[in-house]
Structure formats: C-alpha cells, structure tokens
Structure 1
Amino acid sequence: MKFYRRLNAFDAVSFDLDDTLYDNWPVIARAEAALNDYLSEHCPPLAALDKATLAGFRRQARDENPAQRFDVTAMRVAQLTLAGEHVGLTAEKARAQAQAATTFFCGYRSDFTPPAQSLAYLKAWSEKLPLVAITNGNVDTDAIGLTPFFQHIFRAGEHGAAKPSPEMFDKAAQALGIAPARILHVGDHLSSDVSGARQAGMQACWIRPERQSPMMHKGRTLPDVAIDDLSELDTLIQQRHR
C-alpha cells in the first residue's frame, strides 16, 4: 500500500467492476472465442472477417451514431450489423443476426463467478457502509451475483458518458446523498477510475496491476492511495471509515 496524499475519512465506496473485483481479460477472451464459434455456425462469412475489418466497422458505427459510443452492447450490435451488410445480408437480417450474436456474447461474458474472497469482502463491506458500482462495461451483475451488494449500479451509456467523464461519479454521489469528497472510488485504471474520480471530487484508490507505479504512466493523475489487493482495501475501510 502506498499513499500519494492524505486519505480522509469516507462514508461510502464506489467500485469499478472489470479487473477490479475479478480478472476480466480471460472472461472476455473466452467470450470472444465462443462468439467466433457461434458466428462460424450461424453466419460463416461474418466469422471470416479479420479484426482490422471489424475494427473499421466499429469506428463507422461510432461515427454514425456518436450518442451510443459509450454503450458497449449497442456498439457491438451496430458493428455486427454493418459487418453483416458488408458480407451480403439484408439490413433486416444483418440487424437480427447482430442482435442474436450480441445476446449470445453478453450471456457468455457473464457466465462466471467472481472470486470467493471478493464476494466475502463485498458482503462484509455492504453491511458497514453504502457501496455503488460504476462501470464502462456490460457485465450482468445479477448473473454473477454482485447486485445485492450495491445500492446503485451505474453503467456507461445507460447512465451517462463513460469514465473518466465525471457524469456517472456525479450521479453516484447524488444518489447516495453524500458529498463526493466523502466517497472513495476503487478501480484498476489510472485514467478511467483515478482521473475520473478525482475530477468528480472523490478520493481515488488504485488497484495497481502487478505493483506498477503511476509514475510509469505519463500524464496520469496520481491516486490518493495505491493498493495491491482487496485485503489492503479492507484495512483502509477498517481504519478510515467512521
């Protein structure tokens, strides 16, 4: 644990989800592989498109509808719709295929159980102080068993611009009725989580990947405190919450 500025007492904790409470990269890798198998069965020409081509359709979808760029689920539907039309599907069939494929992907990406330690900590903390979740992703918190621990869950797109925009942080503070300075935000990303929280007036706790230093990331806002795992956050909650 390393402090970069004095950490004041706090009355609530907000959490990023992906790669903060569980390791998300293996989950997404499995889901992407499963989606490719799904498309190979249901629409082989779509499965044959390379990553660069698909990335181009994602950029096109973003440019054509900037308002949905923060909603990763809507963006995937739009991307796959454009890709389907590219391989010869009618607009109607391309949209239907994209929606079906995205539904499959979302189900698969939420088909896992967070670490038992994360669940145990969340249960204990939720009995001590209010918890909220602020995520740029689309994990189904009901499916993975996290919903009961949070008083509110804010998702990019549905509830505002993606982090590091302060919009969802502001909404979290308003929903809790707690001043931002009295909320500690916990996340793994120096820009999305640390910079976003600090811009919104919250204190920021960075779960640093592989004991990295924020000094390794040029131009990034320093957290109030950096930790290596949730056991250190538990210590902070015991010491600083009152």
Structure 2
Amino acid sequence: MSNPFIQQNIRAISFDLDDTLWDNRPVLMAAEQIVFDWLTSNYSRIGETYDYESVHTMRHALAKARPDLRHDMTRLRKELLRQIADTTGYDDSLVEPAFEVFIEARHRITLFDDVLPTLENLRKRGYLLGALTNGNASIQRLGIDHLFDFSVTAEEAGAAKPDPRMFELACQRSGVSTREMVHVGDEPTTDIEGAQSAGITAIWMNRGGIEWQMDSPPDAEVRNMSELLDLAGAQHPPGIKSPGR
C-alpha cells in the first residue's frame, strides 16, 4: 500500500475512539454490569424480572427496532432504561441516575500505551487532530481533549459512521478539504468504507493483525500508533493555527 502522507498534502488526522485508542469491549461489558447491579440493588423488581444477559439482548433488539436511535447511544441507553422501568412497574425517575452510573463507568478506559506519545508527537509536527465517534465517549470527560483540535460525535452530526455527514462535519470543523485529511479507525465498514465514501483517505488500525475481508482495501494499514507515526513522519506540514485556539 502507498503512503498517503507522501502522495497528498495531509494536514489533519481524525481518529475513531473505541477500539482504536483503547480496548472498548471490556469497558462496555463492565459498565453494563455495574449499572445492572445498581438497578437490581435499588429496584428489586428489576432483578426479579431480568438478568444481565436478557438486558443485553433487549438493548440489541431496541437498536434494531429503532434505527432513529442508532446515531445517539445516549438516547438509546436511556430508552432502554425507560423500558426496563416500565415493564417492572417503576416510573422513569430511575433513568437519569442509572444512566449517570453507566456513563461514569463507561469512561473508565485505559488508553493503549502508544496513544499519548503518538498524539503528542503528531501535534508537534503540526497536524490537526480530531476525534470521530459513533459512541458516547467524551474526550472532555476523559481529560484528553487538549490533544485534539476538533471532534465530531454521531449525535452532533445527526448520523453515524459510515454516513459521510460525520466526515464532512469533521472537515468543516478542522478547516481542511477531504483530500487534506486522513481518518484512522479499526472498523472496516464504519471507519474505512465510511471515510472513503466521503472522499477521505482511510487508514486501517489493525491491532489484532487480522486479514482484510472486504472487497475494497484501505488506503493504508497500520498495526499500532508507532507505525502511523512512521507514515506521518514522511511529511512535515507547515504550522497551522488550530481551529478555535
């Protein structure tokens, strides 16, 4: 694969968050268990009606039945809590405190070891850095927003990756054209196909070293952030004033 940093005048790099900058599966599993335990401790009828697995299944069914919520994980989670309350004879006053329990646990992440030094290095080299997420992880709540110049959530865009609206909004907020941005993500459909459909160069973060299964390949592939840094090091863009800074 070619190096887009050499072939193009790349000025901005956007990153997926979950499973690109940290391992998200254990985080979500732990958060869902924590909120379930909180619910059953404070609302006994919930524990008599549901177990952890049935709530997990219920969430997936809700996402399938309500495509209007797929771009807003916060609304989806709150709707799930409302349904749980309704089916067990409680009112929806439990929704907000239960969601706060979940969202606090959802942010107990551990960045991959290579993330912070790479982001700091890229910023020093003059790249604009952004975060693009379909989920409800907040770079502000995580305390890493100082490393990013722009961010876009599916909720803000009104659509989730692979919808091009997320990538178009990222370009607007960074002040660069689609040809001047690369997107880095782990998910072949939402990240790679999504970025490419918007005219943005897509770099696949393949930390697991798995084989590419899709028809159209990514523009480049890296196994870790150090390899990304090696690609980006081939070009040193001129200093650019960060948006809003």
Shorter-chain TM-score bucket reads: 0.7 to 0.9
- Report the AA paired with residue 80 of structure 2: Q
Deviation at 1:240, TM superposition (A): 4.0
Distance 1:229 1:53 in 2: 34
Whether 1:238 aligns to 2:240 is no
- In structure 2, relative to structure 1, the CA distance for the partners of 1:73 and 1:218 (3 Å cut) is same
* Structure 1 residues not aligned, in runs of 5+: none
Distance 1:61 1:208 in 2: 27
Distance 1:97 1:56 in 2: 18
Q: Contact 1:11 / 1:182 at 8 angstroms: preserved in 2?
A: yes
Deviation at 1:117, TM superposition (A): 2.9
Q: Give the superposed CA RMSD.
A: 2.1
Q: Contact 1:131 / 1:149 at 8 angstroms: preserved in 2?
A: yes
- Measured against aligned partners, the alpha-carbon deviations of 1:72-120 in whole angstroms (never above 9, x if no partner) come to 011010011012101112xxx2x22122111110011112342443112
- In structure 2, relative to structure 1, the CA distance for the partners of 1:6 and 1:76 (3 Å cut) is same
Picking from 72, 82, 106, the partner of 2:103 is 106
Whether 1:173 aligns to 2:171 is yes
- Report the AA paired with residue 15 of structure 1: F
Distance 2:119 2:65 in 1: 39
Pairs within 5 Å for 1:159-170 = 159-170=157-168
- In structure 2, relative to structure 1, the CA distance for the partners of 1:185 and 1:49 (3 Å cut) is same
Distance 2:143 2:231 in 1: 24
Deviation at 1:232, TM superposition (A): 0.1
Distance 2:200 2:141 in 1: 29
Which residue in the other structure is 2:35 paired with? 35
Distance 2:79 2:148 in 1: 30
Distance 2:71 2:100 in 1: 18
Q: Secondary structure at the match of 1:158?
A: helix
Count of aligned residue pairs for this structure pair: 231
Which residue in the other structure is 2:243 paired with? none
- In structure 2, relative to structure 1, the CA distance for the partners of 1:112 and 1:52 (3 Å cut) is closer
Which residue in the other structure is 1:212 paired with? 210
TM-score (norm 2): 0.86
Q: Contact 2:23 / 2:110 at 8 angstroms: preserved in 1?
A: no
TM-score (norm 1): 0.87
Distance 2:160 2:102 in 1: 21
- In structure 2, relative to structure 1, the CA distance for the partners of 1:60 and 1:13 (3 Å cut) is closer
- In structure 2, relative to structure 1, the CA distance for the partners of 1:61 and 1:190 (3 Å cut) is closer
Which residue in the other structure is 2:200 paired with? 202
Which residue in the other structure is 2:50 paired with? 49
Q: Contact 1:113 / 1:144 at 8 angstroms: preserved in 2?
A: no
Distance 1:68 1:6 in 2: 37
- Measured against aligned partners, the alpha-carbon deviations of 1:118-159 in whole angstroms (never above 9, x if no partner) come to 112112212321011110111131232221111111111222
Q: Contact 1:58 / 1:76 at 8 angstroms: preserved in 2?
A: no
* Structure 2 residues not aligned, in runs of 5+: 238-245
Which residue in the other structure is 1:19 paired with? 19
